[in-house]
Amino acid sequence: MPDLSHLRADFPILHQQVGEHPLIYFDSAASSQKPRQVIDALVHYYERDNANVHRGLHELSNRSTANFENVRARVARFIGAAQAEEIIFTRGTTEGINLVAHAWTSQFLQKDDIVIVTGMEHHSNLVPWQLATQRCGAVLKHVPILDDGTLDLEELEHLLTNGPVKLLACVHISNSLGTVNPVRDICARASALGITTLVDGAQAVGHVPVNVQDIGADFYVFSGHKMCAPTGIGVLYGRLDLLSQLPPWHGGGEMIESVTLEQSTYKAAPARFEAGTPDIAGVIGLGAAIDYLEGVGLENIQAHGRELTAYAVAKLVELPGLRLLGPPPPADRASLAAFTLACAHTHDLVEFANTQGLALRGGHHCTQPLMKRFKAPGTSRASFYLYNTQAEVDRMIDILRQAISFFS
């Protein structure tokens, strides 16, 4: 496993106590911590460059605009997009999916058409498609999950080849199971059938190498706050030929070519989909996060996460009464482990862990259908990132043993 322990010094928030115990932050699947380099970039922006973008001719506006658009180009390179115009800044994954669910469906989805999602989607990649299909009378179908936490690919093939399927929305990495879906193969099969694809990459970008052209997705969405960037900033990647066919979603300043009292004409992508003043500081922070992650190396981050997770899973499954959800060892999984304890409700367990300085996530993780599939009211989830260590995992296991003793 690559030794990334020196990186902890870059994250000020990690160096604090929770009561009498040092903080162990195992909740990065919900939101990652931010390195000093990102925090400094935000401070520098507000102290030196703060001005609106695209709309001024003075020095501050020119600098802000140049930096803003430079980040767009860096995002494109970071995820392997063909050009910067395919990058749309959003508030996060949820907004990116909703943008497609409105703009794309208004052009291409009709009554009785079919949209396919999987049974492991976050609500943000399920509810928008429920709303979209309900609006136009289309049909929403679901790919089931097998007992080992992987998708039923045989049933997916059946769904893809039966009926007027127009779009497939699929998560890259499950936030509740850690399952890494074969999105490249899935997108290739769907594309061969003329089906548009959207991939939710919220748990993937910044954690594993991602190349959207290699994956072959028509749309790919992710959030900054799960990859060391600020909250409130995200990205929708869309193939430019597809984006050019979509109408605006929000109306306002900057996305127009001309406006009269009767009608308006609109700019091309990406401006067409970025109405109003954007989160400029968030974009600057996203650029700084990309610089930081590239400095560490995505391959190193992936290897660290894979090995740390395998280490944690091997110890977790030895605990009495613990049930692990997701692909069992030695299957590859993302940097998280979700589990239940027979002796304690997940909320009680997470509160107990907090008294020991351990930050876990407890609940349904915005995947209620998945929890119903596995007959779990919720799980406790430990999720890891580049700043976590084996020593912290050992401490978690000690705390869980204490919890088992306490609740039994």
Residue of 94, 28, 123, 95 lying closest to 365 (CA atoms): 123
Residue of 109, 23, 13, 70 lying closest to 280 (CA atoms): 70
Which DSSP category does 47 fall into? I
Residue 321 structure tokens: 């009464």
Residue 399 structure tokens: 């705390």
Neighbours of 58 (CB within 10 A): 8
Location of structure tokens 């935000």? 42
In the set 136, 187, 343, 366, the catalytic residue is 366
Handedness of CA 289, 294, 295, 301 (dihedral sign): positive
Crossing angle for the helix pair 390-407 and 298-316, to the nearest 10 degrees: 30
Interacting residues of 299 by C-beta distance below 8 A, sequence separation 6+ = 209
DSSP, collapsed to helix, strand or coil, labels residue 143 as strand
Residue of 358, 366, 357, 312 lying closest to 339 (CA atoms): 312
Backbone angles phi, psi at 33, to 5 degrees: -80, 165
Interacting residues of 143 by C-beta distance below 8 A, sequence separation 6+ = 116, 117, 118, 119, 151, 152, 155, 156, 159, 170
Alpha helices in 297-339 (DSSP H): 298-316
Longest Cα separation, the chain: 71
Bridge-based pairing of strands 336-341 and 256-259 is unpaired
DSSP, collapsed to helix, strand or coil, labels residue 407 as helix
Q: Where are the beta strands (DSSP E) in 146-195?
A: 165-171
Residue 98 structure tokens: 């909703």
Interacting residues of 162 by C-beta distance below 8 A, sequence separation 6+ = none
228 in active site: no
> Euclidean distance between the first and final Cα of the chain, in Å?
36
Check if the beta carbon of residue 177 is closer than 8 Å to that of residue 325.
Answer: yes
Supply the residues annotated as catalytic: 366
